[in-house]
Amino acid sequence: MTAAPEPDDPVPGPASVPVPRGRHAPPLEVRVETQRARLFTAAAAVFARVGYADASAEAVSREAGMSKATFYEHFANKEECILALFDRAAEYVMAEMTAAVGARDEVTDYALALRRSLGAFLEILAEHPDQAQTLLVQIIGAGPRALERRDAVMDLFGQFLHQDNAALALRLGCPTFAAPEDAYACIGAIFEVVSRQLRTGTPADIREVAPTLERVILGVLYVDRIA
């Protein structure tokens, strides 16, 4: 990730970069966003390293090089922190996936289009492993509100896959899902496969699960056609 804070980035900038003070200080809104970005970076690192249950506001603040008072200016507690980080990471991934879909206009083969989309998704996770841990692993242990958020995001990704497949079917004549639930089932499988890699480190590179994910989706599509 780049050092400059960007609202669209899940964790813009390293937590150790100091914010200028005095007459050279940036405007208040920039300082607030920079602080929040540093806290997100730090929170993702702490959640990935020790898990949500053992994380604390103090640990996140220390990781960010900030005071606990600054943490509490942004988040009421660590639950609010992980929920905000989850939302930010999910929005970032969805924006990147939408951009990846828009870059496939010249593709004339559905399997290749699918391979590119899955490749883009896995590349995001590989580039941002701490945020991937929050999005796919640590959020599960963060309580009922977190699980509701996770279910909502899985629904969004299911809709995304279903709509993308339907659009490509019109253009390429590829098979379509028999029902939206089939796309949601594929998303559930994708989340579990990548979550397992994040938990176990097997395979060593998360991008290596791409063929498995591709077979899952194509298998569901072609079974639907046979049925």
Instruction: Report cis status (omega within 30 of 0) of the bond before 7.
Output: no
Q: Could you give the 3-state DSSP secondary structure of residue 99?
A: helix
Burial class of residue 31 in the structure, from the number of CB atoms within 10 Å of its CB (0-12 exposed, 13-18 middle, 19+ buried): middle
Dihedral pair phi/psi, residue 143, rounded to 5° = 105, 175
In this model, does residue 199 exceed pLDDT 60?
yes
For 145-182, what is each residue's pLDDT tens digit?
999 999 999 999 999 999 999 999 998 888 999 999 99
Q: What is the pLDDT of residue 14?
A: 43
Are the C-beta atoms of 97 and 160 separated by less than 8 Å?
Answer: yes
Burial class of residue 43 in the structure, from the number of CB atoms within 10 Å of its CB (0-12 exposed, 13-18 middle, 19+ buried): buried
Q: Which domains does the chain have, with CATH numbers?
A: 83-226 (1.10.357.10)
